[in-house]
Structure 1
Amino acid sequence: MSNSTSPFTKISEPGHQPPQQTVAVIGAGISGVCTAAHLLRQCLSVTVFERSNIAGGVWHFDDRVPLDPSYPSSTPSLGDYEVSQRGQFSYATPPSERSDETPDEQPTRVEASNNVSDLELQFSPPGPCYAGLRNNVPTYLMASSLSHWPEGTESVISQRDVENYVQSLAEVHGVNTHTLFNTRVDEVKKTPDGLKWELRSVTLEKGEFGVRFIERLSLFDQVVVASGHYNMPRIPDVDGLREWKARFPSRIIHSKQYRNPERYRDHNLMVLGAGVSALDICRELDGIANTVYQSVRGGQYDLPASLLPPSSNRVPEIASFALDNDQRGHRSLEDGQPVPGRIILKDGQVLDNIHHVVIATGYITSYPFLPHLHSDTASITEPGEFLVVTSDGNMAHNLHKDIFYIPDPTLAFVGVPYHVATFSLFDFQAQVVARVFAGRAKLPSQKSMREEYEKRVLEKGLSRGFHSLHLEGKEVEYVRELVDWVNEEHAEEDGKSNDKMKGHSQEWITGYYELKAKMRGLFGDRGVKATAEQAVKGAASSLVKVD
């Protein structure tokens, strides 16, 4: 239905879509792969845009290290790459000899040089996957409906095994053949008539000519954002941190840049953060690093110190970083030499002899290809009815059930919720999107979606926790609501009822509550508030050998 107050004025009535709708899917991680596969099952025309050269998302290990982010973080709209300007790559230098390229597809040419690797890193920054990464949700809870895990798969497995699973889904279900790899989406906006989405993409090509970039404009009926959580690092604004980074850049990294523990052998480290990444890194460093300090702020989702290995010491929040007075001039450090400075904690403790700092403080919500849905000045309490991301970058606003953009539900997001069994939950979201976009399920009116959203805002408040399903039973409840709604509103063809969407199996639900029970035993009263992602390593350790 139309909304006279919305800039998106020509939305088709939900459930009455023309045949063979064209859908763009941004991202080929688990969210994008599941979404594309279910859209293809609904016989829609699908194009997936993946900026790297392979499916797998955060589970693809790339030993290259991403370039440094800003210290402190940039504004959310900037993302983790520099968005090109429209027309920047419109003409080749010299012109391309290809005869099949339209003016909108003419590439720019960059001569082969030592800068090629930097160009690739800037174009498609590697993800946060490190060599020793393992799943922190047991496999029996994080399977897609598209395929079971191979027989005999353990509860906790290697990054490579998880990546193989995602890539197998992409191959078997035809997603790869519908994917433009090495292609980054730089801008998505509605056409002037409000009927289509115009998507501007840039493809990186390598060859004897070096590297060139080809810009293309494409039109789609619907767009699915499946770009994930783990792109733009969140760097805290701690006094003195920027100066440490500027003086000794190789000694301070974000966890997205962490690859293996060996470079830290016999060194002392400070790890900032109390989530899964911080805990994993502390565990990897055990027996390799000398002493590891973990600085925490005492937040709601902090993992208990009891999960830390013997070589790690939990300390309070950091007040400031200070360099010694004689460090005003630039000088490099030998490998075994600590940073000549001190870390002052908020309780007054002073730590020195620190060789490295790893910042594991999470990521910023960012969709740089949707600049009109960003505001880098509006506060989290001021999103209005149209913004998706405000200046804090803590959440995605104005989404119906964390999926459909309320002002124009031809734009959908898959993979927004967290503290969930990721693969499983995102697959359910993908099924819902596919059924709605295919006209097999009807969305509520915009008025109804807005009322439901505002009610949820009143109940949960506007914060990062808005998307969390950590409380026991909330994930099951969320999926049940999706399934009940889709099945209640499912369309009929030729007088026959469509196959209804299936929810969690009884086996899955049993496993979910058994895990929650183990978490209660591990965390005590906090177990009720703990998340599967936060606690599964501790709980699963009684089932399988993790290390």
Structure 2
Amino acid sequence: MELQAKEPVVAIFHQDAFPDEISYTPLEDLKLLRAEEQTLVHERSQTAANPSDQFSLIDKHIKTVAVIGAGPAGLPTAKWLKDEGLSVTIFERNLAAGGTWIYDSTPPLNPTYPSEIPTEGAQPSLPPIDQTLPYTQVKDLDDDTIRFLLEHAPPNPCYKSLGNNVATPLLKYKDLDWPKNTPWYTGHQVICQYLQNYASAFGLNEVTEFNTSVERVTEIPGDGGWHVLTKTTQKEIIDGRDVIKVTWSAKTFDAVVVATGHYHVPYIPNFHGLSEWQAKWPQSVSHSKSYRVPEPFDGQNVLVIGNGTSALDIMRDIASYTNDLYQAVRDSQHHFDEKYLQLRKELSSWVPAKVQGRKGIKQFIAKDTLQNSIIEFDDGQTLTGIDHIIICTGYMFNFHFLDHLHRDEATHRKFGSAVPTDDHVLVKRGDQVYNLHKDIFYIPNPTLSFVGVPFHIATFSFFEYQAFAVARAYSKRAALPDTATMRQEWNDRLQKKGGGREFHALGAELEQEYIQDILSWLNRDSAIYGGSVIKGHDSWWFDVKSNALAELKKKMKTNAPE
């Protein structure tokens, strides 16, 4: 469904533009907008529901919703929003649904070493200033354009041997079974096909704009919804030349759901000397997001930095190819529940026997040759003769299309004094998302929401419960607490769990507490506002979960490297 921009047109566009003639506004106007948005949100918080009436329906009558991302979080969100009678448009920068599970043999562009701060790490791609939208450029398919396309839709961190480590029965969405005889643990092709089957079964492809990235999302003052600026790429042949047509467009929605996941912007620690090392030998360092196949590491001495799932997978994948294989692991500062600690212990026991363990990285010392260069560890040990370093240190939260809700050094340079306050910021260092009620609803304005932020969970099925919450709230079948109550709950959680990535980490026990909390709220309100009862996981699901680790052990043993 084509949604036309509605007057008044503001945010990144000129306010006096006509619906079919929208012009892009330069950065100085966006700074002014940011100040206006802060005033708008402050006024809204002052007129929130009376504290004695702690729950109320969202004031705005929501008809149209933009969902950003057609992956494991975006698909169920769009499905349940549609089922509630809302008009949904999905924006997906890849050419098909599937998100992280789409395999592309082409690796992404190299990140910076170390990571840039979030606002600089992924900049929005915007049209030239003062151009009427929609605005189209035609680019010849040369090296610069290929780089442009890799920035537009970066290949996902899916490697050839990637499979699920959460059993398929635990991943299952409520309304779509896995094909008969699907194993509990399988390859990315099967997982991706399940997601694409889901999109086909519920008409989600028909409401998706593929090859389309969202470049900026801005709130319209006066409770007018959200402006969404998108960029679409399309390959064509013009006069016998292969070209890429790039079109920037703008639409207006009543609500926006961010379902982009968090495996996009690599996190690379600021190890002393790493930037000099990488600048001198750029082909000797990579992030796990770029890993695809083991053959390039044949006969090499490789150091893997990190102790997560990707580190384990990659070491198991390359062990039979490498000469010497090392793993650097720092002492963890995270605190997880007992079941998750047990899982991490099991994962560590599956490290290939040939891997030589080392402590965390202290520094890199670049010498005259790569072979003579030194890696020093926290315990004083050193290592030379390393051919390649694979950094498996995870990812950063970065919403480039909401960069005006970031706050870091670059934000100050970019927006001056018009930066978000503590009560409005979304991202600071990239290790946490701030000001989300239940990791879903943006507290200053719940018509902006997020699905898929938590981790150490059963992913697909967990995301579906978050999708239920969004769909029920936006269809006025579930009431949200007032701003003060949401703020207090968020502050209490921050004090209890602490900040950083651990804030979003759940694990088996906390995941079930979270789901029960969501269900208690939604089912209580279904009796008041209408709607069917949403069921939680059944006994079979929990039986599978109790046996999943044993089955995963069998798989790992069967596929153990020599």
With normalisation by structure 2, the TM-score equals 0.83
Residue 371 of structure 1 corresponds to 403
Residue 84 of structure 1 corresponds to 125
CA displacement, residues 78-118 of structure 1 (integer Å, 9 cap, x when unaligned): 344x312354593xxxxxxxxxxxx4112022223343322
Taking the aligned partners of 1:161 and 1:30, their CA distance within structure 2 comes to: 13
1:200 matched to 2:241? The reply is: no
Contact kept in structure 2, 1:30 and 1:166, CA below 8 Å: yes
CA displacement, residues 374-399 of structure 1 (integer Å, 9 cap, x when unaligned): 101499xx972111111x21111111
- Which of these residues, 342, 359, 366, is aligned with residue 391 of structure 2? 359
Contact kept in structure 2, 1:17 and 1:438, CA below 8 Å: no
CA displacement, residues 230-258 of structure 1 (integer Å, 9 cap, x when unaligned): 00000111112111211111121000000
1:385 matched to 2:385? The reply is: no
- Which of these residues, 274, 284, 290, is aligned with residue 317 of structure 2? 284
SS at match of 2:168: coil
Residue 36 of structure 1 corresponds to 78
- Which of these residues, 163, 178, 198, is aligned with residue 149 of structure 1? 178
Taking the aligned partners of 1:8 and 1:133, their CA distance within structure 2 comes to: 49
Contact kept in structure 1, 2:437 and 2:486, CA below 8 Å: yes
Contact kept in structure 2, 1:269 and 1:355, CA below 8 Å: yes
- Percent identity over the alignment is 37
1:47 matched to 2:83? The reply is: no
- Which of these residues, 19, 22, 25, is aligned with residue 64 of structure 2? 22
What does 1:2-401 align with in structure 2 at a 5 Å threshold?
A: 6-7=41-42, 9=44, 14-15=56-57, 21-80=63-122, 82-88=123-129, 90=131, 103-209=132-238, 210-300=243-333, 303-304=344-345, 305-324=348-367, 326-327=368-369, 339-377=371-409, 384-390=422-428, 392-401=429-438
Residue 476 of structure 1 corresponds to 512
Q: Which has the larger displacement, 247-256 or 110-119?
A: 110-119
- Which of these residues, 510, 520, 523, is aligned with residue 487 of structure 1? 523
Structure 1 vs Structure 2 CA RMSD: 2.6
> Structure 1 residue 6: deviation in Å?
2.5
> Structure 1 residue 123: deviation in Å?
1.4
Taking the aligned partners of 1:271 and 1:124, their CA distance within structure 2 comes to: 27
**Distance change >3 Å, CA 7–CA 50, structure 1 → 2:** farther
Residue 416 of structure 2 corresponds to none
- Which of these residues, 417, 428, 434, is aligned with residue 465 of structure 2? 428
Unaligned runs of 5+ in 1: 91-102, 328-337, 519-535
> Structure 1 residue 452: deviation in Å?
1.5
Q: Which has the larger displacement, 343-352 or 304-313?
A: 304-313
**Distance change >3 Å, CA 127–CA 89, structure 1 → 2:** farther
SS at match of 2:286: strand
Q: Residue type matched to 1:426 in 2?
A: F
SS at match of 2:526: coil
SS at match of 1:206: strand
Q: Which has the larger displacement, 447-456 or 176-185?
A: 447-456
- Which of these residues, 432, 440, 450, is aligned with residue 487 of structure 2? 450
SS at match of 2:390: strand
Taking the aligned partners of 2:355 and 2:67, their CA distance within structure 1 comes to: 42
**Distance change >3 Å, CA 250–CA 270, structure 1 → 2:** same
Taking the aligned partners of 1:29 and 1:198, their CA distance within structure 2 comes to: 22
Contact kept in structure 1, 2:436 and 2:490, CA below 8 Å: yes
Q: Which has the larger displacement, 439-448 or 150-159?
A: 439-448
**Distance change >3 Å, CA 20–CA 465, structure 1 → 2:** closer
Q: Residue type matched to 2:322 in 1?
A: A
Taking the aligned partners of 2:193 and 2:253, their CA distance within structure 1 comes to: 30
Contact kept in structure 2, 1:89 and 1:108, CA below 8 Å: no
Contact kept in structure 2, 1:383 and 1:389, CA below 8 Å: no
Contact kept in structure 1, 2:443 and 2:486, CA below 8 Å: yes
Taking the aligned partners of 1:485 and 1:179, their CA distance within structure 2 comes to: 30
Q: Residue type matched to 1:387 in 2?
A: V
- Whose helix fraction is larger, Structure 1's or Structure 2's? 2
Contact kept in structure 2, 1:321 and 1:343, CA below 8 Å: yes
Taking the aligned partners of 1:246 and 1:286, their CA distance within structure 2 comes to: 27
Taking the aligned partners of 1:438 and 1:253, their CA distance within structure 2 comes to: 45
**Distance change >3 Å, CA 289–CA 546, structure 1 → 2:** closer
Residue 501 of structure 2 corresponds to 464
SS at match of 2:489: helix
Taking the aligned partners of 2:193 and 2:141, their CA distance within structure 1 comes to: 32
CA displacement, residues 256-307 of structure 1 (integer Å, 9 cap, x when unaligned): 0000111101111011111111111111112111111110111156944432
Contact kept in structure 2, 1:17 and 1:437, CA below 8 Å: no
Taking the aligned partners of 1:501 and 1:53, their CA distance within structure 2 comes to: 33
Q: Residue type matched to 1:215 in 2?
A: W
Q: Residue type matched to 1:21 in 2?
A: K
> Structure 1 residue 20: deviation in Å?
6.3
With normalisation by structure 1, the TM-score equals 0.85
Taking the aligned partners of 1:207 and 1:501, their CA distance within structure 2 comes to: 46
> Structure 1 residue 15: deviation in Å?
2.9
Taking the aligned partners of 2:175 and 2:48, their CA distance within structure 1 comes to: 30
Aligned length: 496
Taking the aligned partners of 1:539 and 1:4, their CA distance within structure 2 comes to: 58
Unaligned runs of 5+ in 2: 1-36, 50-55, 335-340, 412-419
**Distance change >3 Å, CA 89–CA 5, structure 1 → 2:** closer
